Amino acid sequence: MIAKRLCIIGVGLIGGSLARAVRAAGECEHIIGCGRNEASLQTAQKLGVIDSYSTDAATAVADADVVVLAVPVGAIGSVLTQIRDALAEHAVVTDVGSSKGSVVDAVKAVYSDIPVFFVPGHPIAGTEQSGVEASFAELFQQRRVILTPVAQTDVGALEQVTQLWQCAGAQVSTMSPEHHDAVLAATSHLPHMLAFALVELLNQRDDSDEIFDYAAGGFRDFTRIASSDPVMWRDICLANADALLELVDDYTQGLSRLADMLRNGDADGLLKTFEQSKQARDRFIG
């Protein structure tokens, strides 16, 4: 058994789905949830996602073997401060934040250094929905989870968190926090910014109602992630701003090149760009 007592702070889509998966795997005796919204926690308990709950983080983590911080990255420091003196000596703490550099900085701000029991992590899974009602046990099946241990991270703690995600069906890999943030800025954070920006651009037009009425599958596919939690993505983008700004600049230059091709009627240039992009995506999907 991975943990007799599992504490999940933030019982939403990710935290709730992890709780469901661990319960389904029979790897935990008791799951306690924590959050600010008691009504949401009551719903989680009624749904069988958690066994008990507390709105006080320090109370929730008492005697927990594993603590999962499933809160927005901007709240990590505040939560760590609340639970610092209440953790059991044997407790292992991990998180699910999409930006690891900012999480490492937040941990250092609370503990002066990274404690051996903290394992930064990020499940590459989710939907555009949010809340515990949207959670499901299969969310992490065959999905990647990236752990970003640092030099101080205890090998035993890393193994325990690895097993936690593996029992949820995930494929676990490790990399440095810096490399994680560079990769995720390109593959996740930039796409979300583009989706939000396109929807906002069209929403500001006088004919926005007509545009959205006639939106077809391509628009729906491209902008699906613009339905994601705005607070969470605000925090992620600000936390990974350096890597993201570099990519935004590169993307802007790419759009400018395409605009020049349109102005110049450069059919060959457009075709070459589109063909290269199609081939690259086909290789990825294949």
Q: What is the pLDDT of residue 1?
A: 87
DSSP at 133: G
pLDDT over 80 at 286, yes or no? no
So where are the chain's domains?
Answer: 3-175, 179-285
What value does the mean pLDDT take over residues 86-114?
95
Fold of 179-285: 6-phosphogluconate dehydrogenase C-terminal fold (1.10.3660)
CA nearest to 99, candidates 248, 230, 246, 244: 244
3-class SS at 144? strand
Which tops the pLDDT comparison, 84 or 217? 84
Q: pLDDT tens digits for 115-131?
A: 999 999 999 998 878 89
10 Å CB burial of residue 185 (0-12, 13-18, 19+) is buried
Model confidence, pTM: 0.87
Q: What is the pLDDT of residue 231?
A: 87
* CATH architecture, domain defined by 3-175: 3-Layer(aba) Sandwich (3.40)
* Rounded CA separation 172/265 (Å): 47
